[in-house]
């Protein structure tokens, strides 16, 4: 990855962390904090929670990047995948802006209801480090349009770069979510919405560039 790609990843993640991430992960974050409000060193527990959330992202990035490496064996297939991934990013960005039924289709609750709802409910019985590890990792697996964007980016790379993309994404969201209560109260809704829209526009632009690279590869 070059520096411009890394800066794009960080820009989208930081902007969206103050808007989209608050709406998607804020509830889980608050639930964990309340669950451990009487525990010693709550900040350390929150750090553990988010560290394992990021670890889940890294694991997903490695898997999707590995799949991208398989596609890269054939140049035509790779160029086609770039084009399709680019179109998906554009569609995703528009869906995040417009929201409604299109976004509901993308952020489908099937995975959560089928595979995550029961484990998360059971994990809510755990406090301390154990709770931080389990709940944090499960939080990282929750269906999210923004995570899909980064996984699509990971799939356009290889396993190592895919994991790196997700690591950068996770670390970029860490300040906003680690200090959720403090920052959320300081920012009004208009600022949160503005940050989210700017990040969605960047997703669309990134998708256009990737789709163009895929088309150019066919020439």
User: Mean pLDDT for each consecutive 10-residue tract of the chain (219 residues)?
Assistant: 84 84 75 80 88 96 93 84 92 85 71 84 85 91 89 92 95 86 66 84 92 83
Can you give the pLDDT at residue 184? 62
Can you give the pLDDT at residue 185? 61
The 3-state secondary structure of the chain, one letter per residue = CCHHHHHHHHHHHHHHHCCHHHHHHHHHHHHHHHHCCCCCCHHHHHHHHHHHHHHHHHHHHHHHHHHHHHHCCCHHHHHHHHHHHHHHHHHHHHHHHHCCHHHHHHCCCHHHHHHHHHHHHHHCCCCHHHHHHHHHHHHCCCCCHHHHHHHHHHHCCCHHHHHHHHHHHHHHHHHHHHCHHHHHHHCCHHHHHHHHHHHHHHHHHHHHHHHHHHHHCCC
CA 38 remoteness from chain centre = 30
Can you give the pLDDT at residue 161? 94
- The encoded tokens of residue 36 equal 């451990």
């Amino acid at each position: 990855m070059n520096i411009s790609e890394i800066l794009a990843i960080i820009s989208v993640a930081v902007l969206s962390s103050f808007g989209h991430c608050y709406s998607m992960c804020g509830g889980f974050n608050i639930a964990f904090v309340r669950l451990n409000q009487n525990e010693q060193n709550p900040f350390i527990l929150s750090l553990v929670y988010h560290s394992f959330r990021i670890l889940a992202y890294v694991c997903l990035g490695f898997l999707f990047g590995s799949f991208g490496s398989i596609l890269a064996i054939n140049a035509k297939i790779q160029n086609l995948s770039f084009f399709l991934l680019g179109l998906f990013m554009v569609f995703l960005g528009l869906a995040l802006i417009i929201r409604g039924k299109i976004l509901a289709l993308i952020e489908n609750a099937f995975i959560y209801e089928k595979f995550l709802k029961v484990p998360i409910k059971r994990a809510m019985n755990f406090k301390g480090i154990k709770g931080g590890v389990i709940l944090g990792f499960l939080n990282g697996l929750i269906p999210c349009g923004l995570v899909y964007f980064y996984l699509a980016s990971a799939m356009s790379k290889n396993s190592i770069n895919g994991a790196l993309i997700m690591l950068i994404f996770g670390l970029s969201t860490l300040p906003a979510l680690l200090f959720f209560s403090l920052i959320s109260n300081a920012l009004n809704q208009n600022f949160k919405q503005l940050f989210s829209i700017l990040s969605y526009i960047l997703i669309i632009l990134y998708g256009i560039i990737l789709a163009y690279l895929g088309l150019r590869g066919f020439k």
